[in-house]
Structure 1
Amino acid sequence: MHLRSLKNHLSKYLLLYVLLSMGVGLAVGYPAAGFVHTHKGMFTTLTTVAVFLIIYPMMINLKMESIKLAAKNWKGILIILAYNFLLAPLFGWLLAHGLLHDPMLSIGFLLVMVVPCSSMSIGYTGLAEGNVELATVAMAVSFLFSMIAVPAWMSLFAAQYNMPSPTWILIESMLTVLIAPMIAGYLTRLLLMKRLGEKKFMQLMPLFPSISVIAMFLIVLLIFFMKESLIVQKWSLVLWLMIPNILFMAGTLFVVTWVDRLIRLSYEDHMAIVFAATGKNNGTAIALATMAFSPLVAIPAATVPIFQIILLVVYLKMAPMIRHYFDRIPRKAMPVAGKGDA
């Protein structure tokens, strides 16, 4: 009972805790800029651990057998790929062309738009009681497609730059944020089911989403703690980047919600799709920008979390309203994965 109360409390005050994490990150990060620079490797490792702890508990609640069913949802997967590799780059190009006049900033902004699927998209989907299995498969497929799509789009956007293929970075990211938590979660589930039995395991289930939420607060704090000096030094640039970022996030959320309802997707599938289509993998984008271009190109990727977190959490808080919006119409029959325990 206490575990479920904790889960409900964190869900109710999610936005408040996110804003608090952002504020603490900035406040503590300001006087500790030198310490952060000196111990950059340690904080990078801590961020990786936090990302792992967001996904790992969700995987404990996930029945691996359901992944096979989700993979049959080819329509949902194709829709996500269309959003990630057609809508996002084209919409991003329109915004960059109209609002960003610095070529390096434009390339950085477009790089963020092309790199799909934030590792937190699965966590958001789970918190919204969406189709976690579809979100997991979509993330894996999007990563595979991005190995070809990212260099292709970036060669069109920035042909004058010699951008290497990000294949190994993407593979490493996929192993870190998807495959490793999935294997660990599956093994943990088997162990707990064997030791506790199904009844006690079901009583323990509310704990895992709570761990994911707390880990999300930690990674938000770390992002703002580590990037505090950049945000303070480039505050005017951050403010200007706010315009295309907010327009992209809000526009994509609106379009995806409207289209998904138009084609009569279920609420569960929509939540998996909307978070996979809107959330961007900022860590990978920052790594690519630093490797292929210059620190200036990394600024858009470093500042996107400011707007991405707020808008996605607000959308998450609107989940009951969105569920009602999707439940008002009859749904087309689609191959929908069994949600298992997620």
Structure 2
Amino acid sequence: MNTVRRISAFVGRWFALIVLIAGAIALATPSTFDGWAAQVPLLLQIIMLGMGMTLRPGDFVIIGRRPWALLLGVAAQFTLMPLLGWSIAHLLGLSAVLTAGMILVGCAPGGTASNVMVFLARGDTALSVAMTSVSTLLAPVLTPLLVLLLIGEDLPVSASELFLSIVKIVLVPVLLGLVLRLVFPRLVERVVDLLPLISVAGITGVVLAVVAGSASTLLSVGLLVFAAVVLHNVAGLTLGYAVGRLCGMPVSSRRAISIEVGMQNSGLAAALATVHFSPAAALPAAIFSVWHNVSGSTLASYWSRRPIEGEDITSRHDASGAAITP
């Protein structure tokens, strides 16, 4: 298992580069990955099962202890990012399909890679894990409603079909993973070191499918979409921290909210875009998968060198075993 841990650590450290190389390969030889788009939901289901297996009942204790911090973070997650996605897409004049992709990224819950980033940033990891878990559980209801509100007039979208997709792709696998951890704790502990590898393999497959399926669109508007994604992510990180500061949250909580708001489950956005719109609509999510890991790790590195004086972060725990997802 020590070898597995070392491989997992290596893959986690170079995740963004691995995904970037995969995207380049798909762009160069898109025909190689014909038909992969149909497997995107399955790949994400596997990733979300891994996320569920990393959860513990104790991850939800913060709901009773500090409901205000959690409520603030989740509210910021589901207001700032959807509105930013819509605003940036319209500001840059993106097509209706790409705008839908930006909005889907904004309406997605947090990804568990954020938990690792918050831990490395000396932030409130317990709050981060709780935000990821609660936003994921709320996603089947909030994501379709927000998408319908922001996209409904531009493209046909069914909130009920989105709801069913998120239940199948996210909620069922996460709950199954949580049950497996409760019923077979020893077995899960034996395989938990493999979860980052599985997650990276899954999101790499998603990127291969999305980029191959929309190669012509990416070649024509790639730089513009990249600019939109960077603006979206950086604005989310910045405004997330600002909200925590304006509401008087401690520095550790501000860091957690910033990273949670700025880092999205872009894999879910890619899956929903592929199923309900087109591979081109999944482009923002595919680019986001690479970029938010670069920006998140950079910010975590910056904050890790700036200890929080006078703050007792007793709620922090090691999140390094969490499955890394987009």
> What TM-score range do you get, normalising by the shorter chain?
0.7 to 0.9
Q: CA deviation at 1:9?
A: 6.2
In structure 2, what residue type is equivalent to 1:241? Answer: V
1:21 & 1:228 partners in 2: Cα distance?
11
- C-alpha displacement at 1:73, in angstroms? 3.6
The answer for unaligned runs of 5 or more in structure 1 is 196-200
Amino acid at match of 1:309: V
Distance in 2 of aligned mates of 1:49 and 1:56: 10
Q: Among residues 163, 167, 192, which one is paired with 1:170 in the alignment?
A: 163
Map 1:119-138 onto structure 2 (within 5 A): 121-126=111-116, 128-129=118-119, 130-131=125-126, 132-138=129-135
CA distance in 1, matches of 2:6, 2:117: 11
| Structure 2, unpaired ranges of 5+ | 120-124
Which residue in the other structure is 2:240 paired with?
256
Q: Distance in 2 between matches of 1:47 and 1:31?
A: 21
Contact 2:96 2:154 in 1 (8 A): no
- Kept in 2, the 8 Å contact 1:56–1:181? The answer is yes
Q: Which residue of 2 aligns with 1:236?
A: 220
Task: Tell me which amino acid in the other structure corresponds to 1:274.
Answer: I
- Report deviation, 1:188: 3.3
CA distance change for structure 1 residues 142 and 15 in 2, over 3 Å: closer, same or farther?
A: same
Partner of 1:225: 208
Q: How many residues are treated as equivalent by the alignment? A: 312
Decide which structure has the larger Cα Rg and report it. Answer: 1
Aligned to 2:48: 52
1:215 Cα deviation after fit: 1.9
Contact 2:51 2:112 in 1 (8 A): yes
> What do the CA deviations read for 1:139-166 (whole angstroms, capped 9, x no partner)?
22344223433222334xxx355x3432
CA distance in 2, matches of 1:44, 1:110: 18
Amino acid at match of 1:122: T
Alignment of 1:69-148 (within 5 A): 69-70=62-63, 73-100=66-93, 102-105=94-97, 107-118=99-110, 121-126=111-116, 128-129=118-119, 130-131=125-126, 132-148=129-145
Q: Distance in 2 between matches of 1:46 and 1:86?
A: 28
What amino acid does structure 2 have at the position aligned with 1:108?
Answer: A
Aligned Cα root-mean-square deviation (Å): 3.9
Alpha carbons 1:96, 1:110 under 8 Å: kept: yes
- 2:49/2:177 contact within 8 Å kept: no
The answer on 1:27 being equivalent to 2:19 is no
C-alpha distance in 1 between matches for 2:62 and 2:291: 32
Measure, in 2, the Cα distance between the counterparts of 1:44 and 1:286: 6
Does the 8 A contact of 1:123 with 1:212 survive in 2? no
Structure 1 residue 87: Cα displacement: 1.9
| Separation in 2, partners of 1:317, 1:9 | 22
Cα distance in 2 for partners of 1:105, 1:214 equals: 32
Q: Which among 23, 28, 34 is matched to residue 36 of structure 1?
A: 34
Deviation at residue 51 of structure 1 after TM alignment = 1.6
TM-score between the two structures when normalised by the length of structure 1: 0.72
Identical amino acids, percent of aligned pairs: 12
Give yes or no for the alignment of 1:213 onto 2:196. yes
